[in-house]
Structure 1
Amino acid sequence: MLYTSFHRSSLLTQLQDLATYNCWAITRLTDWLKSKPAVLLEASAASSFPGIKATLLHIWEVEREWMGHLQQRPNGLQQGIDDDLTTVLNRLVEQAADFSKYVQSLTEEEVQEDCYCQLWFSETICRPRFEIIQHCLNHSTYHRGQVVTIGHQVGLKDAPMTDYMFYVLKVKEQASGSSKTETPANRKNTDSYGRNSFLAVNFFSKQ
């Protein structure tokens, strides 16, 4: 059984971590898709968007649009773009990397600042920057799930694991060397804010 201590965080560090995770998940997903026949990625399927390529294009368009709002330089949706599959895959990864880099550059004060947005489905709105970031990352996660589901419809049933906790335990902490593996018998008393709490995870320790 693996016990990993919780780490202190703020709203900004949580957003930065999620933006990094989003980039990792999109890269992992697109690397998998690049190994599959293009005809399957462009095949029609029943979903919010009619196929894997169309869904990937939507993720890219929306991340691009919201990043423009965050920077107060609206880009607008580019609906109807019909680039080749390789271009769509590469643009999606590049956009996720740009979005993550942008979030890493923000300060605690900047994530609280208001942003004015003119949306195609609403009048001009004013929302704090952190809400827009949360919305954008949640939107991408939602549609990545659809890509996997569409994959099952067209015969692609070996999608890679992109769960957030998998990223935390198998990628983030191992890469940083910050993971603390402990047992109940050797836990040390630590400060408040949850450092005396531990998350027990059986699934990943058996992988």
Structure 2
Amino acid sequence: MLHLETPTATATLATMAQNFAIYNAWANERLIEWLTSKPKACFDEEVASSFNTIKKTFQHIVDTQQFWLEVLQVRNEKINFGNTEDAYELFDYIIEQSNELRDYILTLDDEALCEPVSFTTPWVSGTQSRFEYIMHVMNHSTYHRGQIITMGHHIDLHDAPMSDYGFYLAMRG
């Protein structure tokens, strides 16, 4: 595991973004470790939620992370989303992709984080600093991980790991 800098009153944007990127990869891996101990059929069990299965929710997380990585890197390429029917392949892809996002964010300094980045899609367009988009993608993934845990409760998976940022900070000491 990568070393997480201890935030201080003088924490930089880079320190904050890097800490959240490390946390995001850790939380995704923790949730996947939990789910891989469960019957594979539960990943496709339908539950009322934004996306009606655990697998579809994870697919959305990874698609969104990939989209924002492309935006952050100012790559105007066709995005390869890594869609798969096999949940275990998807889980492997999420871990790889979360680590790729983390590793990219670890290269950014405060100046790069403050640079404005623009994107355009058929649905929405915008310009914000890299830091704002990074905070958005971290928050987005956290939101949907919470949904996955709730979906698990609805299909009798009641032993989900703690994965919120506060627990992470306390655990790392």
Does the TM-score normalized on the shorter chain lie above 0.5?
Answer: yes
The answer for unaligned runs of 5 or more in structure 1 is 174-207
Name the structure 2 match of 1:59: 61
Distance 1:93 1:6, change over 3 A: closer
**Aligned partner of 2:121 among 108, 116, 119:** 119
**Taking structure 1 as reference, are residues 156 and 74 closer, same or farther at Cα in structure 2, changes over 3 Å only?**
farther
Q: For this pair of structures, how many residues does the alignment match?
A: 167
Superposed structure 1 runs of 4+ greater than 6 Å apart: 77-80
Residue from 82, 94, 97 that aligns with 1:95 = 97
Q: CA deviation at 1:75?
A: 5.1
Paired amino acid for 1:153: H
The residue type equivalent to 2:14 in the other structure is L
TM-score normalized by the length of structure 1:
0.76
Q: Work out the CA distance in 2 between the residues paired with 1:51 and 1:131.
A: 29
Q: Residue 19 of structure 1 corresponds to which residue in structure 2?
A: 21
Name the CA distance, whole Å, in 2 between partners of 1:34 and 1:132: 30
Structure 1: distance between partners of 2:91 and 2:115: 32
C-alpha distance in 2, partners of 1:93/1:79?
A: 14
- Aligned with 1:40 (options 37, 42, 50): 42
Matched with 1:131 is: 132
1:22 and 1:80, CA in 2 relative to 1: closer, same or farther beyond 3 A? closer
For residues 82 and 164 of structure 2, the distance between their equivalents in structure 1, rounded to whole angstroms, comes to: 31
CA distance in 2, matches of 1:14, 1:87: 31
64, 68, 87: which one aligns with 2:70: 68
Deviation at 1:101, TM superposition (A): 0.6
- Select the structure that is richer in helix: 2
Distance of 2:47 and 2:82 partners within structure 1 = 18
Map 1:167-182 onto structure 2 (within 5 A).
167-171=168-172, 173=173
Give the 3-state SS of the residue equivalent to 1:115 in structure 2.
strand
Aligned CA RMSD, in angstroms, stands at 1.9
Report the counterpart of residue 84 of structure 1 in structure 2. 86
Deviation, 1:23, is 0.6
Q: What is the percent sequence identity of the aligned residues?
A: 37
Offset at 1:95? Answer: 1.0
- Give the letter aligned to residue 140 of structure 1: S
